[in-house]
């Protein structure tokens, strides 16, 4: 059985207040050497069968419409084994 992971990140030019807050907190807790933090979302889809081309195309379609909002977000699709 295959697993597909869709990573969704805010576009670089969009302010990420959550990432900023985490960045501040990490610094206060003594973590040095981190220049920036961005927070994103992942969707892990467990498939019944294998990932074929048709399914992948459909996942791409939905990643770019439902799972991310192209006005503010980018997405990447990763395939991992379950």
Partner 1 sequence: MSRHADTVADAIAHPEREQPYAELGLKPNEYADIREILGRRPTSGELAMYSVMWSEHCSYKSSKVHLKQFGDKKPETDTLLVGIGENAGVVDIGQGWAVTFKVESHNHPSYVEPYQGAATGIGGIVRDIISMGARPIAVMDPLRFGAADHPDTHRVLPGVVAGIGGYGNCLGLPNIGGEVVFDDCYQGNPLVNALCVGKLRHEDIHLASARGVGNLVVLYGAKTGGDGIGGASILASETFEDGGPAKRPAVQVGDPFMEKLLIECTLEVLHAGLVEGIQDLGAAGISCATSELASNGEGGMRVDLDKVPLRDHTLTPEEILMSESQERMAAVVTPDNLEAFLAICAKWDVDCAVIGEVTDTGRLVIEWHGEVIVDVPPRTVAHDGPVYERPYARPSWQDSLQAADPSSLARPASAEEIRETVLRLVGSPNLASKTWVTAQYDRYVLGNTVLAQPEDAGVIRVDEESGLGVALSTDCNGRFAKLDPYNGAKLALAEAYRNVAATGAVPLAVTNCLNFGSPEDPDVMWQFSQAVTGLADGCLELGIPVTGGNVSFYNQTGEVAIHPTPVVGVLGVIQDVAARTTMAFRTAGDAVLVLGE
Partner 2 sequence: MRIGVVTFPGSLDDQDAARAVRIAGGEAVTLWHGDADLHGVDAVVLPGGFSYGDYLRCGAIARFAPVMGPLVDAANGGLPVLGICNGFQVLCESHLLPGALVRNDHLHFICRDQKLRIESTSTAWTSSYEVGQEIVVPLKNGEGGYVADEATLDLLEAEGRVVARYLDLNPNGSRRDIAGISNARGNVVGLMPHPEHAVEALTGPTTDGLGFFTSILKGLVEAS
- What residues line the site for partner 2 (CB under 8 A)? 10, 13-15, 17-18, 21-22, 25, 28-29, 39, 66-67, 69, 71-72
Q: How far is the CB of 56 from partner 2 (least distance, A)?
A: 21
In angstroms, the CA 51 to CA 15 distance is: 35
3-state secondary structure of 14: coil
Both tokens of 81, joined, read 């084994």
Q: Is 44 one of the binding residues for partner 1 (CB under 8 A)?
A: no
**Which residues contribute to the site for a copy of itself (CB under 8 A)?**
1, 7, 9, 19, 22, 25-26, 29-31, 33-49, 55, 58-59, 62, 66-67
In angstroms, the CA 36 to CA 62 distance is: 29
Q: Which is nearer to partner 1, 8 or 56 (CB)?
A: 8
Measured on CA atoms in the order 26, 75, 63, 6, is the torsion positive or negative?
negative
Q: Is 31 one of the binding residues for partner 1 (CB under 8 A)?
A: no
Query: Which of the 8 DSSP states describes residue 64?
Result: I
């Amino acid at each position: 059985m295959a697993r597909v992971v869709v990573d969704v990140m805010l576009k670089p030019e969009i302010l990420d207040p959550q990432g900023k807050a985490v960045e501040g907190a990490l610094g206060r807790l003594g973590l040095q050497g981190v220049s920036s933090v961005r927070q994103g979302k992942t969707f892990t889809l467990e498939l019944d069968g294998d990932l074929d081309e048709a399914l992948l195309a459909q996942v791409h379609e939905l990643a770019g419409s439902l799972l991310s909002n192209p006005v503010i977000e980018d997405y990447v699709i990763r395939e991992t084994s379950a």
